[in-house]
Amino acid sequence: MSNQEAIYVGSGKKHDNYDFINISIAESKVRDYWTEYNGERYLKLTVSKKRETDQYGKTHSVKVDTWKLTPQGGAPKANNVEGNSDLPF
């Protein structure tokens, strides 16, 4: 992720009895962050656990992943495990 300020676009909640997190994202908050690659549109997001559950019971936050390739052709190390995805980001 770049050094710019985080762009929070939603939140989510982990349910005690299940191993999944439901998240909600407002369309108006992500409209400008879609990226096109090979004719497909992608929205890169980062979901992270909050330090404390908020007043609405939300346990996770969702922000836009603004990481980009460097212009020199070298890429900073991504958080993905190599071979985990065929996407360039």
Q: Which residues contact 11 (CB under 8 A, 6 or more apart)?
A: 23, 24, 50, 54, 56, 58, 60, 61, 62
Higher pLDDT, 82 or 22: 22
Count Cβ atoms below 10 Å from residue 34 Cβ, excluding itself.
Answer: 10
Q: What is the chain's mean pLDDT, rounded?
A: 79
Q: In whole angstroms, give the CA distance from residue 54 to residue 37.
A: 36
* pTM for this prediction: 0.62
What integer pLDDT is reported at residue 2 of this predicted model?
A: 47
Model confidence pLDDT, tens digit, residues 56-75: 999 999 999 887 766 665 55
